[in-house]
Amino acid sequence: MADKQEFVPVIRVGGPAPKPKAQPKPAATNVGTKEYGAQRAEQARRDKIVGTLVDAIALEARGEGVPGMALVAKSIINRQKYLRDKQDWEGVPVYKNAYLTDGKTDIMSILTAKDQYQVMNRDGTPRYDKQNPLTDQDRINARNALGIALNAEKYAQLAQQEQWPEEAMYITGFRTRTAKDDPSQNIGNFLYGNHIFNTATGTAKPYKK
């Protein structure tokens, strides 16, 4: 982020002598101000998205510690990657309606897609549990988990430590043990904690270029 620029004030001289004309601020200064404001606004927007993602990860798997939360985070990151690449890790096409995002690849569209994440409302707000609110430690753990999921080397080390199957690298979704069985999700399944993870892309309609 660029440093905030300092502005030299225009000094107006009073008295009987003619007042000097005020010099307009250089165009570059105005541009710099706008850019700084835009950068601040963009950073605030990104911080809000990350905060929402962290809370969603914590709400979904805080009972399974950092490893369980890292799996949830990885599944979301993989969805975004495969949507952007329009193919999964095997080169199989991932179509426009995959994960019900209608081709959108931003994190909020992924999180708020219909019937995808029970911990999220469609308006982009997490469904907080008033009876069991998130703690600071929950959010710290979720941020650590997100950092691991975003780092291929750290995630691979965690996978080896936890003895996860190879499918853990490519997960795209999950359901709880008690959730209704969905045959479309029964691809590359493995169990961790209270979640059954999978590598399904979940689509039936081809993407039209």
Q: What is the pLDDT of residue 200?
A: 92
Q: Which two tokens stand for residue 187?
A: 């691809």
Domains: count for the chain: 1
Q: Would you say residue 206 lies in a domain? A: no
Q: pTM of the entire structure?
A: 0.81
Domain residues for 105? 27-126+135-198
Q: Would you say residue 153 lies in a domain? A: yes
Q: What is the pLDDT of residue 25?
A: 55
Look at residue 178 and tell me whether its pLDDT is greater than 80.
yes
The strand order across the sheet containing 173-176 reads 173-176, 195-198, 190-192
Look at residue 180 and tell me whether its pLDDT is greater than 60.
yes
Q: Would you say residue 178 lies in a domain? A: yes
Dihedral of CA atoms 53, 57, 62, 68 in degrees, nearest 10, equals -140
User: Which residue intervals of the chain are DSSP H helices?
Assistant: 27-61, 65-85, 107-111, 136-150, 152-162
- Nearest-angstrom CA–CA distance, 73 and 125: 17
Q: Would you say residue 1 lies in a domain? A: no
Q: Would you say residue 166 lies in a domain? A: yes
Average pLDDT, the chain: 86
Q: Would you say residue 93 lies in a domain? A: yes
Taking each helix axis as running N to C, give the angle between helix 27-61 and helix 136-150, from 0 to 180 degrees, rounded to the nearest 10.
100
Q: What is the pLDDT of residue 47?
A: 94
Q: 182, 164, 174: which is closest to 199 by C-alpha?
A: 174
Q: What is the pLDDT of residue 121?
A: 96
208 or 202, which is more confident?
Answer: 202
Using a pLDDT cut of 90, give the percent of the chain over it: 67
- Nearest-angstrom CA–CA distance, 40 and 22: 30
pLDDT tens digits, 27-66: 555 668 888 888 999 999 999 999 999 999 999 999 999 9
Q: 152, 194, 163: which is closest to 62 by C-alpha?
A: 194
Q: What is the pLDDT of residue 112?
A: 97
Assess contact for 77 and 149: CB atoms under 8 A. Answer: yes
Look at residue 174 and tell me whether its pLDDT is greater than 80.
yes
* pLDDT tier for residue 22 given thresholds of 50, 70 and 90: low
